[in-house]
Structures are given as C-alpha cells and as structure tokens.
Amino acid sequence: MPEKDRRIGFIALLFVSVGGILGSGWLFGPLYAAQLAGPSALIAWMIGGLAIMVIALNFAELGAMLPLNGGITRYALLTYGPTVGFVASLSSWLTFTVIVAAEVQAVLQYLSIYFPWLTENITGEAGKSTTHPLSFPAGFVCAAALWILFSLINWRGIHFFARINNGLTWIKIGLVVTVTVALFFLSFSWEIFDDPKEGGFFPHGWSGIFQALAYGGVIYAFTGFQHAAIAAGESKNPHRDVPIAVLASIFFCLLCYVALQFAFLGGLREVTFLTAGDWSNLQFEDQVGPIAGLVKSLGAVWLFYLVLGGAIASPLGAGLINLGSSMRIAQGMGHDRYLPPRLSRTGQHGTPGLIIVLSFPIGLFLFLPFPGWQSLVAFLTSVVVLAYAIGPLSLLALRDQLPDLKRPFRLWFAAFFCPLAFVICGLLIFWTGWSIVWKLGLVFSVCGCLFMATHLTRGQRMHLRSAIWLVPFLGGIVLITWLGSEQGNLQLSQTQATLAVAVVSLGSFYLARKLTITPEETQQYFAQIEAARLEELEEQNPNDVAFLDVK
C-alpha cells in the first residue's frame, strides 16, 4: 500500500494504546485494589505492569513483523490453524466488546451521583459491599445511546476516530496528572502505609496482592496496550511505530497508576473508614465513584467536579477505542471464515458497517444487570489473558515457519521470555478465582463445540491436533482452581495450587511448541489473509490494490 494511503502516524498509534489503557481503571482501581491489598496495592500495580510488559514484548515483535488489522488474533491462525485461531479471536472479540459495556457502566455509575435513577444500589451482607447495576429502563436507554455514539464515530473511519481519540487522550492524561498532584498537596500522610492498627503494609498478605491483580482491576487497567498492534495495518510505519507504541504506553500508564494509587492511599488519613484494620470496609458514604468520594471527603469541591469530568472522558474514550478494536477483530474473523465473509466488507468510510450495526443489539444484551464493575472486570481479565497466551507461542512458531520475514523489533532471549509470559498468563487466569474460572471454562467449551460442529458440517479442516494443548492448559487450570477452592474442600493450599498452575502452564507451553502447523500450511493461511486484504482494497479503490509489504 502506498505511503499516502497509510492512515495514522506514531502519535496517533501511541494514543490508541494510552487512550485504551486510561479508561475506568484509574477511576475504580485505586479503591478496589486497596480493599483487597491495603497499602501493598502498590506492589500489585508494579507486578501487574511488569507482567503485562513481559507479555507485550511478544506482541511488539509480532505487530512490527506482521502489521495486520486484528493481528493479535490472526497470528494464532498462521501458527496453529483455525481451531486455536478461533479461540484467540473469540476471546479477544469478547473482551473488547464487553469492555465497552464496562466503560459505559462506569460513566453512568459516576453520573448517578447526580442522577441516581441511572443505577440501582444493591448492598451485600453486613453492608460491606455495594454494587451499582444499571437501572431499567432509564439506565439501559442511556447506555444504548452511548453505544450508538461510539458506533457512529467508528463508522466515520480511522481519520475521524483518530482526531477524536487524540483529543480525549490528552484530556485523560491531564486529568490523571492533575488529580494525582492535587491529592498529594491536599492531604498526604505516610502513617497509613505502616500503621499497625490498620494491618501494616501487608494487611492481607500476598493473597491480597494476587486478588488485587484480578478483582482489583489491575490487569484490566492495562488491557488497552494491544490496541496499537490491532490497528497496525493502518499505521504509516508499523515496523518502527508498533513496538515503540506498545511498550511506551504500558510504561507511561504504569507510572500514572502507581502515582495515583500512592496519592490515594496517602489521602485516606483524613477519612474514617477502617474497622479493626479491615480494608474491605473502605467505602465513601453515598458516593458510587471512589475518587470522587475521596476528594469530596477532603473538601476539594473544584477537584470533585474535575473528577466527574474525567469520569466521563476516560471511559468514553476507552469505550470508543475498544469498540473500534472489536470491529477490527470481527472483520478479521470474517476474513478468516469464522464469520460470514459478507460481514467484513467495508463501505465508503473504509469501515465494516454491517459489523457495526450488528454489534448494537449485542451491546444491548451486554447491559444486563451485572453484579458490578469489579466482578465484570475479573471475568474480562481471565478472557483477555487467554488471548495473550497465544502471543509467546506464535512468536516462536513464526520464527520457524516464516524465518525470512523482516523483524524490525526482535525480542532478545525469547527462549526465556516466551515461556515466562505463558506461565504468567496461566497464573493470572488462576488468580481470578473459582467463581470466574469455571465460567471461563464453560464459555469456551460450549463455543468450541459449536465451532467444531459448524466446521465439520462444512467439511473444513480444523487442525484439531494443533489445539490439543488447550485441553491440559485450560482443563488443568480449572481443576487446580477447584481443588484450591472451598468447593474442592481446599485440597490444595494457595502456594501448592500456584506452583501446580505454573507447572501445568509450562508443560502446556512446550507441548504446544510441538503441535504447530507446517510452514507450508502457514504460507497457505498467509496467502488467504493476503487475498482477503486485496479484495477489501479492491472494494475501496480498484486502482490501488498493493498489499502490505511485510518482506
């Protein structure tokens, strides 16, 4: 494709990832992470950031080497065939689509401070936890209106999308920095970090830190890093820009999150919230927005309204980006024949209008009353991590299958970092807990059976042999999580279960390394992807059908 037809530059690509990361995570994460881990939530953020960085290094090489729209899922097709490709595509599409619902719910939850009819308040046992599902019909109508707005912006194309996203991202960065600095100056105290009355720095031990990674929204908060890799096919210089954008976005946002969590904890000294050091009781009366609740308790009215503005701009921007990525992944699923190819056809603005239209009723279905933002993001964490697990496998496989491809960014010590990233993915799924893991296993078991039944009736090859490793990987994590839960009578301690998951993940990784498809089959699927791209370009511009040069 000629240089003039490339759509977005480095800054826009960087802002796609930064804008996707800075969503509702900074608005809710500091509270929920503190409830689970206390002051050691700081460690949870650092562990989460480093874990995502290790995972992202794999996608940095893949995105620079093969800048394909929806590429994060299509690498699986190139290395393990349609069945594993379907699992990766389904998990990524499901993640980004549900994230849109989570971000919209975050907006309405903050707005319900002034418009209480948008949500319902459901208090748990002993008044310790309160969830805020959308009300019916008022909350659902407003959520549907926001989804339509996202759809219209994405339908107008990448140029229009990039301009709006760049503006929203600058606003979000400014808000996060302003709120963090203001909290330091308003009321910061070191006492909360080591006060024995409040449980010290580790009130809930390492188990609290691990729970904060999933239930505290830490891993969820970094989910948007891969948007640059997904939009790589629309970058002016993907070989250079994609790896830099992916890694820089994670590092920058990690600094933002750690600083905000630090300021949030330091500002709690002026707030009476603990009962016998039980951090799970941390709440702000009559406030459904944690950051807004803290600043209002501190008497900073001007900052309270600024946070409300951020509560609108941040989730809206992240929701906009996630719907765009969901659209691109669905488009790739159409090209790869997981969905009817007709759905992937683009219109006058270069976007798949039919996919956008069909996403709307799916979005409405996703606005059913969830038990709250916290439980929703825990499930999303397990789903997206499953997609992440494909990255390290695909990186090593493509080095064998397509060794001559240009690799502008090459991961050093890949033989170490790839299995490490895979084991991290297995542990992150395990740490979401039994209440989440069994649902993950059920969803993918049902969808996998439907996929195989559909392909068998069509007589299409599925490469089931290459997907065998999914059985010990997912099945092993589900079994170990059950054995370490109350439902399994706690037959395994937390330490034993963690070590078992690490061993199962590592074994599944090396099993998967032996089950890749042949280089000839990879070339065939690569040609299939290339042909689909050519067909799309012909529809947009019959005089210019040059495919992306990845050699």
DSSP secondary structure, 346-382, as one string: --TTSS-HHHHHHHHHHHHHHTS--S-HHHHHHHHHH
Q: In which band, very low, low, confident or very high, does the pLDDT at 4 lie, cut at 50, 70 and 90?
A: very low
Structure tokens at 106: 């975050």
**What pLDDT, in 10s, does the model give residues 95-120?**
777 777 777 777 777 777 777 777 77
Q: Whole-number mean pLDDT of the chain? A: 77
Q: Which percentage of the chain shows pLDDT scores above 70?
A: 75
Residue 386 has a CB neighbour count (10 Å cut-off) of: 26
- pLDDT category at 447 given cuts 50, 70, 90 is confident
For 158-201, give the secondary structure using H, E and C: HHHHHHHHHHHHHHHHHHHHHHHHHHHHHCCCCHHHCCHHHCCC
CATH of 3-129+136-365+379-540, one of 1.10.287.610, 1.20.1300.10, 3.40.50.300, 1.20.1740.10: 1.20.1740.10
Please, where are the H alpha helices in 267-413? 290-297, 301-335, 353-366, 373-388, 390-401
CB atoms within 10 A of CB 336: 23
Residue in the structure block whose two tokens are 């080591």: 194
Nearest CA to 388 out of 438, 432, 423, 414 is that of 423
**pLDDT tens, 201-241?**
777 788 888 888 887 888 888 887 777 766 666 667 777 77
Containing 157, the helix (H) or strand (E) segment is: none
3-state secondary structure of 500: helix
Q: Can you give the pLDDT at residue 245? A: 84
Residue 485 has what pLDDT? 82
pLDDT tens track for 137-158: 777 788 788 777 777 776 665 5
Q: How far apart (Å, rounded) are the C-alpha atoms in residues 108 and 105?
A: 5
pLDDT at 87: 85
Q: Which helix (H) or strand (E) covers residue 10, if one does?
A: helix 10-21
**Alpha-carbon gap, residue 82 to 64, rounded angstroms:** 23
Q: What does the pLDDT read at residue 512?
A: 93
Quote the pLDDT of residue 455. Answer: 66
168 near 324, Cβ under 8 Å? no
pTM for the full predicted model: 0.79
Torsion of CA 82, 87, 89, 95, to 10 degrees: 180
Unique residue bearing structure tokens 């996202």: 150
Question: What average pLDDT does this structure show over 366-385?
Answer: 69
Sign of dihedral through CA atoms 428, 431, 432, 435?
Answer: positive
Most confident segment among 231-235, 252-256, 310-314:
252-256
Higher pLDDT, 344 or 21: 21
Top pLDDT among 40 and 548 is at 40
Quick check: 150 and 317 in contact, CB under 8 A?
Answer: no
pLDDT at res. 479:
93
Structure tokens that stand for 515 in this block: 């089950």
Provide the pLDDT for residue 234. Answer: 65
Tokens 């069994």 -> residue: 438
Kindly report the number of other CB atoms within 10 A of residue 389's CB atom.
31
Cis peptide before 408 (omega within 30 of 0): no
Measured CA distances, 372 to 32, 284, 388, 442, 542 (Å): 12, 16, 25, 21, 49
How do 122-123 and 130-131 pair as beta strands? antiparallel
**Cα dist from 51 to 34, 163, 254, 396, 416, whole Å:** 20, 31, 11, 19, 14
d(CA 277, CA 195): 9
Scored b (16 or more CB within 10 A) or e, 32-57 reads: bbbbbbbbbbbbbbbbbbebbbbbbb
